[in-house]
Amino acid sequence: MDFGINAYCIRHGFVIADIVRITEKNRNVYQVVNHKGDHLQAITTNDKDYYVGDFVSVTTVDNQLFITHCLTRENVISKARNTTSKDFLFHVEEQILATNVDQLFILIAADQRFTLSKLERYLMVFSGMVKDIKILISKNDYQLKTEKILEDVSRVYPHLRICSYSILNEESLLHLNTLFEPGETALLVGSSGVGKSTLTNYLLNKVSIITNDVRMDGKGKHTTTATKMYHATSSESYLIDSPGFKGIQTSREIDSEILFEDISRLAVECKFNDCKHQSEPGCAVKSAIKNQRLDSEMYARFLYQKKKREGYERYIRDKNRKKG
């Protein structure tokens, strides 16, 4: 398989012969694949960073493959870097997870602690980066816990696309497999222990990734330590498995409409352009809640995420002032 190189070159008008795609990165050494499906190793001597998913041009010198430059990125999937801070678990700088991604799957494990706020952060962070986002609930053999998660999400966000499955249930896996589009690149994201590597193994039709059990306290163990791209034989798509997240935020501008479209639509009717939808007169959002045209729980979720985001932005400003 050519890992999407042919289709990419046709879209952008590039000559295919000297173009490869990065499937794994280790410092300045990269695992790449060419349009024939040959897996090769390339290095770079410049100070530029390349990432899994990048289409790059290469040249050969003394039987060594060198990356010369990165071609146009159709998108970049990133999040804020993790730190050990107690208040905010994020750096200002963005950590690039992968590039040129068509589908993004957010994994939630039914046997781990679930909160709407964490799911909301995932959706708001990634919604502006890729159009096709789906939520997967793994380990749905924990039936009652799965039903509770589905109920909590659908009650507030009935429009979200959610699929539950168990690696022990062949029927659910067959349905899950149809969600991965042939010829497209899919990225799996989620906390440690949600089952990304186990799912990857199934989609590859082989056991090529070591998987760990979940800890006794319900928290996941890290299995994947580096981002890597595979050819998923069961769906004929390209699959990127990423390390588990400790925290999820972004320093990019966030588009909250994926979750709060109704509030955004009402906001244009508010008396003041800078209405915060709390105590201002002429607030169309507050009026809609009073008239039961807007769900009060949706409004509470909106205020909670708004407060979290404003706190994060204050943290960034304070950190930048201290650096200055």
Break the chain into its structural domains and give their ranges.
5-70, 76-241, 257-323
Of 84-98, 155-169, 257-271, give the lowest mean pLDDT range: 84-98
Please, which pLDDT band fits residue 209 given cuts at 50, 70 and 90? very low
pLDDT of residue 155: 87
Please, which pLDDT band fits residue 252 given cuts at 50, 70 and 90? low
pLDDT of residue 83: 46
Of 93-97, 129-133, 162-166, 229-233, give the lowest mean pLDDT range: 93-97
Of 74-88, 98-112, 188-202, give the lowest mean pLDDT range: 74-88
CA 72 to chain centre: 20
Q: How many whole angstroms separate alpha carbon 275 and alpha carbon 281?
A: 9
Q: pTM value?
A: 0.82
Asked if 186 and 126 count as a contact pair (C-beta separation under 8 A), the reply is no
Please, which pLDDT band fits residue 302 given cuts at 50, 70 and 90? confident
Q: Is residue 76 pLDDT above 80, yes or no?
A: yes
pLDDT of residue 211: 47
CATH number of 76-241: 3.40.50.300
Please, which pLDDT band fits residue 215 given cuts at 50, 70 and 90? very low
pLDDT above 90 covers a percentage of the chain that reads 50
Q: Is residue 122 pLDDT above 80, yes or no?
A: yes
Q: Which residues pair with 58 in a beta bridge?
A: 67
5-70 and 257-323: identical CATH topology: no
pLDDT of residue 143: 95
Asked if 33 and 57 count as a contact pair (C-beta separation under 8 A), the reply is no
Nearest to 302 by CA among 294, 293, 314: 294
Strand, helix or coil at 39?
A: strand
User: Element (H or E) spanning 68, and its range?
Assistant: strand 64-70
Q: Is residue 35 pLDDT above 50, yes or no?
A: yes
Asked if 250 and 80 count as a contact pair (C-beta separation under 8 A), the reply is yes
Please, which pLDDT band fits residue 251 given cuts at 50, 70 and 90? low
Q: Is residue 86 pLDDT above 60, yes or no?
A: no
Q: Is residue 161 pLDDT above 60, yes or no?
A: yes
Q: Is residue 219 pLDDT above 70, yes or no?
A: no
Q: How many whole angstroms separate alpha carbon 217 and alpha carbon 229?
A: 30
Q: How many whole angstroms separate alpha carbon 282 and alpha carbon 284?
A: 6
Q: How many whole angstroms separate alpha carbon 275 and alpha carbon 283?
A: 7
pLDDT, mean over the chain:
85
Please, which pLDDT band fits residue 216 given cuts at 50, 70 and 90? very low
Q: How many whole angstroms separate alpha carbon 166 and alpha carbon 195?
A: 10
pLDDT of residue 101: 97
Q: Is residue 63 pLDDT above 60, yes or no?
A: yes
Please, which pLDDT band fits residue 205 given cuts at 50, 70 and 90? confident
Please, which pLDDT band fits residue 214 given cuts at 50, 70 and 90? very low
Please, which pLDDT band fits residue 1 given cuts at 50, 70 and 90? confident
Mean pLDDT of 105-111: 95
CATH number of 257-323: 1.10.40.50
Which fold, 5-70?
OB fold (Dihydrolipoamide Acetyltransferase, E2P) (2.40.50)
Token pair 């964490």: residue: 118
